Amino acid sequence: MSRQSEGLQNEGIAEAWAFTAEHRQRTTFFFDFDGVLSPVTDDPDASQPVPSVLGVLEKLATVVQRVAIVSARPVSFLRSRFSSLEGVDLYGLYGLEVWHEGEVVTEPAALPWVPAMAELAERAKTELPGDVLVEYKRLSVALHYRTAPQRAGEVERWGHEQAEAKGLRIQAGRMVVELKPPVDQDKGMVITEGVRDAGCAWYFGDDMSDIKAFDALRAREAVDPSFFGVAVAVANPETGAEVSSAADLTLDSPGAVAQFLAEGLERF
């Protein structure tokens, strides 16, 4: 199935849903959380999925092979937001944690870094200004400056200094700098593995880390012409332009994602 260079238009969207419905038994839907299923909030702990999305995901999971959420959040956080859903896999911390069939599995190579991440979080709270929100995630530390955008340069410098000194990796995002262990794991790798036996896959993302997931769909198409992938961006004022340019389709908001899925499900 071909795409127009400017992305999927109405006819292309209808064709994509028709292909998905026909191949539902070999189709996977992947979603980021923040900015895709939930609006981005000043306080990360306050984020909740838009009310309409829970029912849509539950229904979707009954008609396709697999539904998964792939997020920078820990699995424990994702479980607290989606505990009512059955049959939805959760990938936390870019895939360092996985919740599947009632069990959480942590990437063994990341576990030795837990103490270092805890120490880093405490140092960040001491050395960075109080209006920078430090989010400790056990296997990563996110430094949010959404409520203090004037701190962007300071946070980025501090983060890069710590990464260089401690051998960590940096993940930039929407008004956030995240420090992670030097373990090869990202959303692109999650999708590469997740679509290995799929015939069709959709990925919904809004941030820079999601572009690797889009790339994974393209790579699978390149080696398997029968595979069809759809990359969907969610508009936002921070990373929206770059993410949308890498996607086939852009939706306006998390609410629009839920509506788009509900309308698509009517084609099944």
Give the rounded distance of the alpha carbon of 65 from its chain centre.
19
Maximal C-alpha separation, the chain: 55
Q: Are 206 and 35 in contact (CB under 8 A)?
A: yes
**Residue 103 corresponds to which tokens in the numbers above?**
């069990």
Taking only the tens of pLDDT, the chain with its 268 residues reads: 334 334 577 778 999 999 999 999 999 999 999 999 999 999 999 999 999 999 999 999 999 999 999 999 999 999 999 988 988 999 999 999 999 878 899 999 999 999 999 999 999 999 999 999 999 999 999 999 999 999 999 999 999 999 999 999 999 999 999 999 999 999 999 999 999 999 999 999 999 999 999 999 999 999 999 999 999 999 999 998 999 999 999 999 999 999 999 999 999 9
Catalytic sites, residue numbers: 32
Residue 239, strand partner residues: none
Angstrom distance (rounded) from CA 204 to CA 198: 17
